[in-house]
Each structure stands twice: as C-alpha cells, then as structure tokens.
Amino acid sequence: MALEDRLDLRGAVIAFDLDGTLVDTAPDLIGTLNWLLSEEGVAPLHLDEARQFIGRGARWMIERGYQEAGVMLEAGRMQPLFDRFIARYNDHIADESRPFPGVVEALESLRAGGARLAVCTNKLTGLSVNLLEALDLARLFDAVVGADAAPAAKPDPRHLEAAIAAAGGSSDRALLVGDAATDAGAARAAGVPLILVSFGYTETPAAELRPDILIHRFDELPDACVRLLGACDA
C-alpha cells in the first residue's frame, strides 16, 4: 500500500539535518579542513576520526582540528581561518559529497504523502542551498534554514521551530530527522518527535541519544514517519 494511502501527511512538516543525515559531506568538509590545516602548518586529520566533528559548524571543526594536532589557536585567528575555509569549501562543495543511499526515494515518498519538507542545519544557509542545488535535492524542500537564518543554532529549539514555521507547519505536527546530539537536543527541547540515523556524524552513538526511532537505511524512513506522525493530531 502506498504511503499516501496509509496516512494523510498533509499539514505535517518533516525537518532534516543535512550533513551526515541527508548527505555524506565528510569527504569535502574534511578535505577543506585538511587543506586549511596544511596551509597553516598543522597536521591534517584522518577522515574517519574527523567525521564526528561535523555538525556544529565550520568554526567548531577548525577549533577541533587545532586541538587534535595539539596546536594552540591564537586569539583573533578564527575569523580569517573561517573565511578561508568557507571560500574554499564553497568552491568544492560537491566534489565528492553525495546523498546517502535511498534519500531521494524516501523524500519523494514523503512528499507524495503530502508532507512538507525542511532542512534544519547548522551549516550556513547559502552553503546548504548551494549543496542541495548541486546534488539536485533543492527541488524536494519547502524551506532551508541554516544557523544564520535562525535565532540560535541547534541544539537550541528555536532553530527547529524556525525551520518548521518556514515550511508552513507547526511543532505539534512535525518531526526531526538527524544524526547527532545537536538534533536530539533541539527536538527534545521543542517537544518534537525524533528519528536518528545510525550512520551519521556523531561523537555519541545515535542509539545512546534515545531517539523515538533509530533507522539504519532510508527505506525505513517513510514507515518511521508514519508511526510517529500517526500519533499526532492530524
């Protein structure tokens, strides 16, 4: 039975984290970070160890890169490093980044069921839109709200609430799909159901963040949304 036949999702908003949830952006993000570190004479990071540093914005990644190398980041250096990081990353935003398997099919299924979709990410809004457009995903979303377009970044609930509102919905009929503690914190504080993916970028294993549902593949997402939104008032 098709999703739209099992549950009317009209009026529901499903918000998504971006990095590590919808798109495997680690190769380009860590590649940019390592380019910057190398330019500064700082030891680069291995992709696997640096994946967990993604999700709190570029400044956090740069800071952690210096910390992992045991190098002091001097006061006043962050802004020029950040500016260089953003410029380089924007030029290489989709060199190797790709949607996780099943993402497009799952998003199309949710839209067919009547849901409105939003991106709620600590990435800058412009970078997020550029990435989504480069991967032909922008067409599937009703709103994209980066940290710079919200009153505060995740895990502050106002970020999630702003994304839901931008997509034309309300928190009483919405959920968040993410991968890390920032997503869990935002969803819990906003009183919104939480789905986490098990394959994302997180310092704390997703299962330990106690999501309402943990999924391992995107073909599990439509049914998970049905289960959680079915418990909401239509």
Identified catalytic residue from 8, 17, 95, 212: 17
Q: Residue 168 in 3-state DSSP?
A: coil
Measured CA to CA, the distance from residue 18 to residue 126 in angstroms comes to 13
172-209 residues labelled b (16+ CB within 10 A) or e (exposed): ebbbbbbbbbbbbbbbbbbebbbbbbebbbbeeebeeb
Residue closest to 179 by CA, chosen among 216, 130, 232 = 216
Q: Would residue 19 show up in a list of annotated catalytic residues for this protein?
A: no
3-state secondary structure of 58: helix
Residues with catalytic roles? 17
